Chains A and B, each alone.
Chain A
Amino acid sequence: MRYLTRRVAFLIGTLWVALTFNFLIPRMMPGSPAETMIANFHGKGQINPNALHAIQIMLGISTAPLWKQYLQYWGQVLQFKFGISYTYFPYTVTHMIAQALPYTLILVGACTVISFVLGTSLGIAAAWWRGGRFDATATTALNFSSAFPYFWFALFAAYWVSFRFHWLPLSGAFSSSISPMFNWTFVSSALRHAILPALTIVISSMGGWLLGMRNNMISTLREDYIVLAEAKGLRASWIAFRYAARNAILPNITGFAMALGFVVSGSLVMETVFAYPGIGYLLVNAVGNEDYPLMQGVFLIIVLAVVMANFVVDLLYVFIDPRVSNEGRV
């Protein structure tokens, strides 16, 4: 019970810090980019006074005392009212996020699952045959891959696969000649556009899972109960999966659940390289265009997703590894 209250306190605390940070930063800025932005809005035609009001509250263009602004700000956030996007006028920030979210969730979500499953299984193999040829090659290659920038690899993949050989489309989430609808033409086009970004993400993120699993599993394999299992003459595969991997996988499971939270933030760099219209691309564009309402909204959604995922992990952990709920009592 004490564990649970601590986790709830952490959840609330983190959300509070993130939201307050989002509230304070634009107000501490010298000069007011927000005011210039509002002035620019007037050049864009009629703007709904309600929406304008929401932006003013979110960005702090107000003469009200700070505590009052803070309360108003919370009111807006709790209703998911982030105002109007400056770049995509007259669409609201919420609308833009809702449009970008499915692309990110499906593509990055699928990649996260594939990369976790592949990386962890290969990690089990590397640990089981540790010191062997597969272990040596995989570990060295992946160590090297963790040192180079992802976008560099993605650029070259795009160059060879799409530009030189025309195997797959170069950018975007679907062919520009069709509009997003739920039919076969659209879905197949979307799939073709997703293959290359997905491959680059899986290849570049698999290494972490592999190395983590390998190292945990190697230390688990040294435990006495594994020696006992071997002495009993159990089948090797039984020992590898039922005895060793089962215990060694815990840290990877935590990492996986966290990674699922990070899915929402998408992959800023991947989405930029492939001009893939997800959340990360939206954030980069918002910053590039000084679209503060959009930027604030996207950042809040990202933080919200990660913090919630983190909370769910903590709850699940009580079932996966009952030792945690005894923390502090031993």
Chain B
Amino acid sequence: MGTTENVAPDRRTLTAHPVRTTKSTRHRRGFLAVLWANKKSRAGMLLLGLFVMTALIGPWIAPYSPYATNYAIMQTPTLHHWLGTTQNGQDVLSELIYGTRLSLEVTFVAGFGATAISIVMAFAAGYLGRWLDDILSFITNVFLVIPGLPLMVVLAAYSPVRGIIVIMAVLTVTGWAWGARVLRAQVLALRNRDYVIAARFAGEAPFRIMFREILPNMLSLVGANFLGASLAALLGAASLEFLGFGDPTALSWGSMLYWAQNSGALLQGQWAWIFAPGFCIALLGMSLILLNFGLDEISNPRLRGES
């Protein structure tokens, strides 16, 4: 339980403040450069860039329309259909390319939403108040204890509509607790630093202290959190859609897996139809994990020498 409290204090913050302006401009320029310099996070950036490109220019590079149903159904990979066709005679490769956009959207919207809630909860609990801290920490712990997937399923079931918005909302609501806990510990650690106390004595408003003084000094932790929440959202969305709680008509990797499973793709020997979306999910997830390695080394310079 005590592990989150022992988050190693960010060494950079000890020296950051007296020369804040120069430091932060240099820092902003250096952020991407540090990520790029690290071999693992460079691979992550390239991989993620590839997916973002595919999402943007998908309609131009897909060989067919993913909605066209005029091909022979349930084909295994052929020269014309590299990944085969579906039970309705759609081209699987085109579906995969078009589906990239929605899968990325769900991943990052839910990841962003969860991180935003985490930040608000962390500051409200860690900086603002004693009784508020008790209440918010209790709520956070409740969300940590209740098992994620069953909660997602029940929330999705009670929702009067099915669809991608519901999936994003459910993933956001179930995904913020861990981040809130980690960030709160960091806020608690930073709030008693000299520069924060000095800012308080100088009469700065609490909001300014929280968002201009403390937040910039925990950005890498927030970033790591965003990546973690996005990975959880990616896998959560895939599971929910696979189980049939998504919108089966929306084109995403998860709904492709749902249709593939429900038309018995594997039993028909159509391994490519199942393999491809799952592999894309795995690659996107891997790119997030690789990026996280780089962020870790930014926030914890001691790791840099080791690898």
Contact = CB atoms under 8 A, between A and B. Distances in A.
Contact of A306 (B147, B153, B235, B239): B147
A153 B239 CA distance: 12
Q: How large is the interface on B (under 10, 10 to 19, 20 to 34, 35 or more residues)?
A: 35 or more
B56 interface: no
Contact of A147 (B150, B153, B157, B286): B286
B282 A144 contact: yes
Given A17-B142, A323-B2, A269 B289 contact: no
Given A148-B278, A149-B278, A324 B1 contact: yes
Nearest to A296: B154
Contacts of A153: 278
A269 B267 contact: no
Interface in B220-234: 231
A13 B150 CA distance: 20
A143 B292 CA distance: 12
Contact of A146 (B154, B160, B238, B289): B289
Q: Is chain B's interface secondary structure helix, strand, loop, or mixed overall?
A: helix
A148 B147 contact: no
Interface in B194-246: 231, 235, 238-239, 242-245
B281 A148 contact: yes
Contacts of B3: 251
Nearest to A11: B145
Q: Is chain A's interface secondary structure helix, strand, loop, or mixed overall?
A: helix
Contact of B285 (A29, A147, A295): A147
Nearest to B151: A299
A158 B285 CA distance: 23
B158 interface: yes
B238 A149 contact: yes
A268 B281 contact: no
A272 interface: yes
Contacts of B158: 25-26, 29
B153 A268 contact: yes
B193 to A, nearest CB: 19
Nearest to B283: A147
Contact of B289 (A147, A151, A284): A147
B69 interface: no
B138 interface: yes
Interface in B233-283: 235, 238-239, 242-245, 257, 261, 266-267, 271, 274-275, 278-279, 281-283
A156 B274 CA distance: 9
A158 B271 CA distance: 12
A129 interface: no
A10 B140 CA distance: 11
A147 B149 contact: no
Given A29-B160, A254-B1, A159 B266 contact: yes
A317 interface: yes
A26 B157 CA distance: 10
Interface in B146-196: 146-147, 149-150, 153-154, 156-158, 160
A323 B257 CA distance: 48
B233 to A, nearest CB: 12
Nearest to B292: A143
Nearest to B288: A147
A302 B150 contact: yes
Nearest to A17: B142
A323 B3 CA distance: 13
A158 B257 CA distance: 15
A163 interface: yes
Contacts of A233: none
A144 B43 CA distance: 13
B141 interface: yes
Contacts of A143: 286, 289
B301 to A, nearest CB: 16
Given A147-B281, A156-B266, 17 more contacts: A25-B154, A25-B158, A26-B158, A144-B286, A146-B285, A146-B289, A147-B231, A147-B284, A149-B278, A152-B274, A152-B281, A153-B278, A155-B266, A156-B275, A283-B154, A284-B153, A290-B157
17 contacts: A147-B231, A147-B284, A147-B288, A148-B279, A149-B281, A152-B278, A152-B281, A156-B274, A163-B266, A251-B3, A272-B243, A280-B150, A287-B156, A302-B147, A303-B147, A306-B145, A323-B2
Interface of B: 1-3, 138, 141-142, 145-147, 149-150, 153-154, 156-158, 160, 231, 235, 238-239, 242-245, 257, 261, 266-267, 271, 274-275, 278-279, 281-286, 288-289
